A = this chain, B = another copy of it.
Amino acid sequence: MTLQEFSELNSVRRLRDLARTPFDLARPNALGVGRFREYRVAMAGYDYLYATQRLDNQVLASLQALADEAGLVDQFLAMKRGAVMNRIEGLASENRQVLHTACRDVFSADPANREASAQAAEQLARLRRFLDDSGQGRLVNQRGEPFTTMVQVGIGGSDLGPRALYLALQRYQLPGRSARSIANVDPDDPAAVLAGLDLSRTLFNVVSKSGTTLETLTNEQLVRDALARAGLDPARHLLAVTGAGSPMDDPRRYLASFHMFDYIGGRYSVTSMVGGVTLGFVLGYEAFAEILAGAHAVDVAAEERSIRANIPLLMALIGIWNRNFLGHETLAVLPYSQALSRFPAHLQQCDMESNGKSVSRCGRPVAWQTGPVVWGEPGTNGQHAFYQLLHQGTTVVPAEFIGFRQSQYGRDVTVEGTTSQQKLVANMLAQSLALATGQSSDNPNRSFPGNRPNSVLLADRLSPRSMGALLALYEAKIAFQGFCWNINSFDQEGVQLGKVLAGKLLAELAERNKGMGGALAENSPEQAMLEAAGIIQ
């Protein structure tokens, strides 16, 4: 596979021309029935409606050409089969395979990457035995009682995805079971969580691939201390999910241990044991398998080469159209589902840590924009918060709506002739239309310029399967965009400098704690900042 710089692709030049006169959504009759019927893709239980994007068939043809020219589906296939996609030519880099898709490729006789899927299946079988043991009363606390609560102790990829999915699927939790999370090194995070728990009935799932994540090790220590103070044996309450050979890979210190692998980055690890242990404990093994099946269905469907039949590929290209050609810096992800309240936070990591890059895979600084700032909150809440800016601000914010035709609980009420679920969906569609079409008025303060590009992703109900599919849709979208921008979406060198500087400041504080003076050079910026902040004198 030859790597090609984004700015040198022929279709990029063509798209630049087309971007001079993007489709005008705000002109009269711009949105006809035919456009809504045509600009719609169905895949893996989702409908993707994109009539309210600023594009037409010419743009779509050029986006298809871009997908073909950059070999996006071929790169996706290569990734799934085990190519070393986490690398940069000519530079020291991680040089790893990227095989999160293998975690859910455990249902067929012929997986895309046999070895990784076999490793995933082995961990899954261990998980199943563990869950059977705890479900059937073989795994109990010192008093012989079953465990009711699992606390996920992890940060970043070991927190955000599992937390988002747990909240999304809380409706389906097994009777008497629930989950909590501890992530932040802020000691008030564990203090607040631990204050509300019956420790004797609680398992703590400590998750760190390297086994050296500072926040997680510190919080593990806080948890061990709290258990010991309560007269409980930490080794009977803690689980570990870590890489083989890591400092945490020591089964004697944990009730059970599971492995994660180098070829799965933290932000892509929800469907590995990183998410599996807690989600399996709370929802049951079958529900976790449904999540995997939903994700796998998307991984397979994403091999489709026609952008008009491949939702994540089309989402990726429309995102590039908005980012690189129409010039929009941000992307709002707006789920009309309270259960998805933390899904945007997961996407912030998955997208911004993957594609917030400025070096191409050829090792050169990029001469084009890469990943946008991703943010969002559930609707209808957001309508009463920041939508004012979306409609009438001076910055255009492309939006991705996510909705479901049915609620999870089915407990609804009819007010003014419609159910709450109908109000929810109607509001989402109305916002999509309003952002697109706008409205003129004699009063400029009541005018809406429209032409705010957006699209709608819609499924029947948020369930383990559709949640798995949604997760994989965004994972594939992000990978396709990275392939197209010719960046490495799978490393995160940008987090290193902050770590190094924090280490210097902490060395200073550790010396001072010991009464040893300090570790920093006099008049260094680090020392000056600690002084200005009133942390040291």
Which are the 9 A-B pairs with shortest beta-carbon distances? A356-B389, A156-B384, A417-B510, A356-B393, A191-B409, A349-B385, A430-B501, A392-B494, A430-B502
- Decide: A506 and B413 in contact? CB cutoff 8 A: no
- Decide: B36 and A529 in contact? CB cutoff 8 A: yes
Task: State which size class the interface on A falls in.
Answer: 35 or more
- Decide: A529 and B394 in contact? CB cutoff 8 A: no
A-B contact pairs, 9 of them (CB 8 A): A31-B528, A186-B420, A349-B384, A356-B394, A359-B392, A373-B395, A418-B509, A437-B525, A458-B534
The reply to whether the CB of A306 lies closer than 8 angstroms to some CB of chain B is no
Nearest B residue to A456, CB-CB: B533
Residues on the B chain within 8 Å of A242, using CB: none
Nearest B residue to A356, CB-CB: B389
Interface of chain A residues 407 through 438 with chain B (CB within 8 A): 407-409, 411-427, 429-434, 437-438
Work out how many copies of this chain go into the complex.
Answer: 2
Q: How far is the CB of A110 from chain B (nearest CB, A)?
A: 34
The reply to whether the CB of A189 lies closer than 8 angstroms to some CB of chain B is yes
The reply to whether the CB of A271 lies closer than 8 angstroms to some CB of chain B is no
Q: How far is the CB of A338 from chain B (nearest CB, A)?
A: 4
Q: Which of B213, B388, B405 is close to A356, meaning CB atoms less than 8 Å apart?
A: B388
Residues on the B chain within 8 Å of A498, using CB: 383, 387, 391, 427, 430-431, 434
Residues on the B chain within 8 Å of A185, using CB: 380, 420, 423-424, 427
Interface of chain A residues 218 through 251 with chain B (CB within 8 A): 218, 221-222, 225
Given contacts A373-B375, A501-B434, contact A513 B36 (CB under 8 A): no
Nearest B residue to A423, CB-CB: B185
Residues on the B chain within 8 Å of A533, using CB: 47, 49, 405, 425, 429, 456, 458
- Decide: B492 and A388 in contact? CB cutoff 8 A: yes
The reply to whether the CB of A371 lies closer than 8 angstroms to some CB of chain B is yes
- Decide: A494 and B171 in contact? CB cutoff 8 A: no
Q: Which of B187, B359, B502, B535 is close to A413, meaning CB atoms less than 8 Å apart?
A: B187
- Decide: A91 and B405 in contact? CB cutoff 8 A: no
- Decide: A532 and B192 in contact? CB cutoff 8 A: no
Given contacts A192-B409, A348-B386, A456-B533, contact A91 B426 (CB under 8 A): no
* A420 to B355 alpha-carbon distance, docked (Å): 31
Besides A349-B384, A418-B510, 15 new A-B residue pairs in contact (Cβ under 8 A), listed by A number: A31-B528, A32-B523, A33-B523, A184-B424, A188-B339, A221-B413, A352-B385, A352-B388, A356-B391, A357-B388, A357-B393, A370-B393, A388-B494, A417-B511, A438-B497
